[in-house]
């Protein structure tokens, strides 16, 4: 039932938002929506209203060296879950946005799901993505004096490991 419900959600979002979203679903493996940055908050609010009431995690991926589907992009992926909709309880929906690696900016989803606060701070710190509308975008893990590029970027060189 979970995959049927996820397919229903993906179809609903695709129909409502058209070309600004693309859905990927491989039953038993992944359910993913890739959204244009300008529609991210609106799609997130719609998904929240459909029953995705929390974010389990937020990850960032530097796609610069990815052979297929990569480029000068950073992908931010929110793993959404539901406590309130029985058919969605055991599922995870990935809501993703791809941003320009040279000027990585994305709307924050803090106002939709406050639980993203620390996750977005980590992606900001480790990959350099600036989340507009985030209430407290400052370092979380690295020292304040950090002057190098974000350490999870593919072109970061670990000192002493050349």
Which of these, 116, 120, 121, lies nearest to 138 by C-alpha position?
A: 121
Residue 69 is predicted with a pLDDT of 73
Residue 19 is predicted with a pLDDT of 94
Residue 20 is predicted with a pLDDT of 95
Domains of the chain and any CATH numbers = 2-102 (3.30.460.80)
pTM confidence score:
0.93
Residue 104 is predicted with a pLDDT of 97
- Outline where 18-61 has alpha helix (H): 40-49
Q: What is the pLDDT along the chain (162 residues), one digit of tens a residue?
A: 588 999 999 999 999 999 999 999 888 788 999 999 999 999 999 999 999 999 999 999 999 988 777 789 999 999 999 999 999 998 999 999 999 999 999 999 999 999 999 999 999 999 999 999 999 999 989 998 998 999 999 998 887 776
Q: Given phi > 0 = left and psi -120 to 50 = alpha, else beta, which region is 111?
A: alpha
Residue 27 is predicted with a pLDDT of 81
Residue 81 is predicted with a pLDDT of 95
């Amino acid at each position: 039932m979970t995959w049927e419900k996820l397919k229903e959600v993906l179809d609903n979002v695709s129909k409502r938002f058209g070309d600004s979203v693309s859905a990927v679903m491989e039953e038993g493996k992944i359910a993913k929506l890739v959204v244009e940055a300008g529609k991210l908050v609106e799609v997130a609010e719609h998904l929240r209203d459909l029953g995705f009431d929390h974010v389990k995690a937020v990850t960032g991926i530097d796609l610069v060296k990815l052979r297929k589907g990569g480029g000068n992009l950073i992908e931010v992926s929110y793993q959404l879950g539901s406590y309130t909709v029985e058919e969605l309880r055991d599922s995870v929906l990935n809501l993703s946005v791809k941003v320009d690696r040279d000027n990585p900016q994305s709307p924050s989803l803090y106002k939709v799901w406050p639980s993203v606060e620390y996750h977005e701070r980590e992606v900001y710190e480790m990959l350099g993505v600036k989340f507009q509308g985030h209430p407290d975008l400052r370092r979380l893990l690295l020292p304040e004096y950090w002057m190098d590029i974000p350490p999870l970027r593919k072109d970061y060189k670990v000192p002493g490991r050349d």
